[in-house]
Amino acid sequence: MKETTAKSALREDSLKHLGLDNHGHVYWDLPTPALYEEAIRRYEASLSHLGPLVMRTGQYTGRLPKDKFLVLEPTSEYKIWWGKINRPIDEKNFNALEHRLCAYLQGKDIFIENCYAGADEKYRLPIRIISERATAALFARTMFIRELDPEKLARHVPEFTVIHAPNFHADPEIDGTHSEAFVLIHFGKKIILIGGTAYMGEIKKSIFTVMNYLLPQKNVMAMHCSANYGKDENDAAIFFGLSGTGKTTLSADPERTLIGDDEHGWSDDGVFNFEGGCYAKVIKLSREGEPEIYETTRRFGTILENVMMDMRTRRVNLDDASLTENTRAAYPITHIPNMTRTGKAGHPKHIIMLTCDAFGVLPPVARLTREQAMYHFLAGYTAKVAGTEAGIKEPQATFSPCFGAPFMALPPGTYAKLLGEKIARHNVDVWLVNTGWSGGAYGQGQRIKLGYTRAMVKAVLSGALKNVPAKPDPIFGIAVPQSCPGVPAEILNPRDTWKDKNAYDNKARELVVLFEKNFTENAGDASEEIKKAGPKLV
């Protein structure tokens, strides 16, 4: 009893140190069933058929990039990649908002989950999520890595703490925020404040931003990618790609073992997952298209965000986008049959950079040199098409350096340098795979069949393309294989698929100009070798 009292006092002191005092009941590290009970009792969520918990996030159903700020403070000020993405907020504004937020939580029950980010024990980050909501604690327990040893859990000391209060709102005029919602990261105090939004992705991505800040300073690559391995842990592959390129779909291969679907590190020992769960889009998800992910929407332990449900039958409708197109499922990675519980593998043999080219000019598969790999990594190209966002009528090129610029706290060159070094040291093959259009741009051509893309990825990972004769693309310079098992040879050269060759040339030049403009803006300090590896106007 004395030991329990001592532990309780130690935990209470850790909260007081944060300024959290005079609060209501504190729920420490509740198991999943207990968090279900609390969430339902507090009307935060409802139980659906077969066991998933269904919740709504209210006004905001996605991330708020304009409401995320990094605190301008001495320990990180000269390391951050300041600009449109990483915008500063004054430290005095952070301190004042933190004080008011802690005052807001007085008298309220709070839920706390102690866990880790990072499956590799050498580089894992002990974290603590403190929230006024049971659903947020359940999300943290689902998405991050749990400590299963009760004694170690009782002694858990977090290096970073998230204080999460969706019902607390900022005053932009007083607090210096963009709106009443905010995500503020203070690298010096090692505290993250989230308020005004219940969208759970803000918790996940704020910790990812921290990992992207800390790990490269330890010579560990932090990556926005999925990863799997084949016959053993030394047959690993990494899939970079922005939303809509097929990153989750193509890494979920029944013949390979899933390491993780979104966030990874690459150390001197190999690749490791940052998370213990997955956070997948589920709008129009089908049993036929993605059977493994579909089954997670029918299991206890899954949280469904903004998914519509018939309140009488308690059955969900994954096709209903009444609230948002960005419906989500958060589930433990153990819900996926072919996964690894260690969250780790060896060094990758292959890196696949995915793009959905709506201009229809990039080849469906091509091999990259090390310099070309660094160029396309710094570019992070894909394309938005009509219907994806209001006002988009023609394909629009989208560039996100490192395939995840919103979460990269350091300059892009930091990550590219690490990637280049690791590619060279471990002799990794790098490929560009276009999951977009062929035979014409969006509206004229056809999207490359998923079956063909899967065949290309399989050929890459099996080594079947390694010694196939290849020709350099005249504009992009990347090596295009002249044949691929299971893929018609006529679609491999994109220009040959266009009836109007002049139209292809014009569209290709249009895209090259956009590449060059983006590279000047976001990677102007790259080496001449990398700059020369980009596309050329012919």
429 is catalytic: no
> For 329-354, b where at least 16 C-beta lie within 10 A, e where not — what string?
bbbbbebbeebbeebbbebbbbbbbb
> Who contacts 8 (Cβ-Cβ below 8 Å, separation ≥6)?
none
CB 452 within 8 A of CB 392: no
422 is catalytic: no
Catalytic-role residue among 14, 243, 324, 483: 243
Catalytic-role residue among 23, 133, 247, 507: 247
Ramachandran category for residue 138: left, alpha or beta (phi over 0 → left; psi -120 to 50 → alpha):
alpha
63 is catalytic: yes
In 333-485, where do the E strands start and end?
A: 344-345, 348-355, 365-368, 381-384, 396-399, 429-434, 437-438, 446-447, 470-472, 479-481
Catalytic-role residue among 161, 209, 226, 248: 248
Catalytic-role residue among 29, 48, 56, 63: 63
146 is catalytic: no
Q: Which helix (H) or strand (E) holds 516?
A: helix 501-522
> Who contacts 429 (Cβ-Cβ below 8 Å, separation ≥6)?
349, 350, 351, 367, 460, 466
Catalytic-role residue among 68, 124, 156, 328: 328
The Cα 110–Cα 105 span in angstroms is: 8
Catalytic-role residue among 56, 205, 376, 458: 205
376 is catalytic: no
Please calculate the CA angle 175-176-178 and round it to the nearest 5 degrees. 110
Where do we find the tokens 């030394």? 234
The sign of the torsion formed by the CA atoms of 38, 44, 48, 50 equals: negative
248 is catalytic: yes
Catalytic-role residue among 262, 357, 429, 473: 262
- Give the residue numbers marked as catalytic: 63, 205, 224, 243, 247-248, 262, 328
